[in-house]
Structures are given as structure tokens and as C-alpha cells.
Structure 1
Amino acid sequence: MQQILFIQTGTGIDVHGQDVTKASVRAVQDAIHYNSMPGIEKNLPDQRLENMKVNVKLALPLDHDQLDVEMVKDMIPYGTVTVEIVSGGMATTSGIFLEDKADKNDLMYIVNAAVEVGY
């Protein structure tokens, strides 16, 4: 990406499923849900949304290899989307003890997202 026009951030949580994709999709939704980009086309090459580049940075606590990158990309309606994964976020107890998992608690996964938009 040559030029970042703006960055949006968000947080997503999967409380009981331990699904890093679900938490990541929610983080991206949180980042872009309340934003509007009027006039962004004027700042893009050839003034076309197809020329927009979006880099989604996700801070995942666990299960990096289980992330469905295509589901995350599908959250972005325009442009060319890339996904970058970094260690971070949080895995913490939801307070529910699961008998079938011996001494483990049911973890909630918390993912942070930064959505960079530019060209």
C-alpha cells in the first residue's frame, strides 16, 4: 500500500465457541460498522473503488492456523483485501467449567482488528 487514507479499529469476541474466525469477523464488523467514507473515490487512482486497497491486521490470541481468511476478506465490500495476522488479543475464561475437558475452562477469544484503507 503506497498511501494509507485512514485506519479503523475494532474488537470481536467469541464467548463460548473458541472460534478465532468468528471473533475476527466480529472485530472487522466492529471496525467498519459505524464508518462512512464519502468522497474516498476522489483520493483513489482513477477515482474507482476497485483501486482501493484494504489491509486487515488481526491480533489473535490462539489458533492462528484455524483462521478462515476468506471469511474475513468477505467482510470488506470493495477493493483488494489482504489479511495480516499477529500475536495478541486475549484468551480468558468465560467462567464456565467444562467437565468433559478435565481441568480446562471454556475460553473466550478476544481479537483486535485494525483495518487500513488506502491505495
Structure 2
Amino acid sequence: MAEARMVLQIGMGTDIRGGEPTKAAVRALRDALWHNSLTVTHALGVDVDSMRVKVTIGVPHPDKVDKAQVLAVLPHGTGTVEVVEGGLEIPTEDGRGVTLLAQAAAEVFLDLPARNAA
């Protein structure tokens, strides 16, 4: 068996007024996942929970993201979360808060039989 990346999903999430990195990260992953219906496991005849999902989140203050909350968004399979510096932080008009933007990439991997080179 050889693991192959089957899908790359991308999304964006925000926390308009609270500046909470975890809230923006969770929304970004939901945005990436909820606009798709993955039928690849059905087409290949494999269990949907056999997917391995590698989640990468780009957000200001990555150390403040609760990875468990982000991982809990995944409906199937097993996953990992890596949080890196990225996204945007925009001060509110009154200067008392920020609007925070996060980006998410979800890579879906499956173990497939090795293909013979032709």
C-alpha cells in the first residue's frame, strides 16, 4: 500500500470582533470542508474513516489556537493539525479590538495499492 493525497480543500474563517484565533481557525476548516462532498472513498470501496487528514492553519498568534477544537471539526478519518503564523489581524475602527482572519488547508490521504510503472 502507498499513501496518496487524494484531495486538497482550502477555506477561510474569521472572528469579526473577538480576535479569537481558535474561533477563526475552526471556521476556516469548516469553510474548507463544508463546501465539498467527498465520494472518493465510496468510489474506491474503502471506509470513509480510513482517511488521514492533515490540517494546516495559518493564523495570527498560532500558539493561542486550541488544536483539539480544530481537530473536532473533522467528520471522518483521523487527523493532525499544524498551526503556523499567517492570516490577517485588522484593527477595529474604534481601535479596541481586531478582526482576525485564518486560512485552512485540509489534505486528505488514503492508502492505495501501489501502481506498477509502465
TM-score (norm 2): 0.84
Which residue is equivalent to 1:56? Answer: 55
1:21 is paired with a residue of what secondary structure?
A: helix
**Mapped pair 1:33 → 2:24:** no
Q: What's the C-alpha RMSD, in Å, of the aligned pairs? A: 1.7
Unaligned residue ranges in structure 1 (runs of 5+) = 99-105
Aligned length: 109
1:97 is paired with a residue of what secondary structure?
A: coil
Give aligned-pair identity as a percent.
32
Q: For the residues of structure 2 that align with 1:84 and 1:48, how far apart are their CA atoms?
A: 25
**Mapped pair 1:117 → 2:113:** no
Q: Which amino acid aligns with 1:116?
A: E
Which residue is equivalent to 2:116? Answer: none
The structural deviation recorded for 1:50 is 2.1
Alignment of 1:1-119 (within 5 A): 2-43=3-44, 47-62=46-61, 64-98=62-96, 106-119=97-110
Does the CA-based 8 Å contact 2:55-2:82 persist in structure 1?
yes
Query: Cα 1:2–1:96, aligned 2, differ >3 Å: closer, same or farther?
Result: farther
Which residue is equivalent to 1:101? Answer: none
TM-score (norm 1): 0.83
Instruction: Tell me the alpha carbon deviations over residues 9-36 of structure 1, each in whole angstroms, 9 at most, x when there is no partner.
Output: 0000101111100000100111111100
Does the CA-based 8 Å contact 2:55-2:79 persist in structure 1?
yes
Q: For the residues of structure 1 that align with 2:65 and 2:108, how far apart are their CA atoms?
A: 22
Q: For the residues of structure 2 that align with 1:3 and 1:43, how far apart are their CA atoms?
A: 13
Instruction: Tell me the alpha carbon deviations over residues 80-109 of structure 1, each in whole angstroms, 9 at most, x when there is no partner.
Output: 1100111111111121233xxxxxxx1111
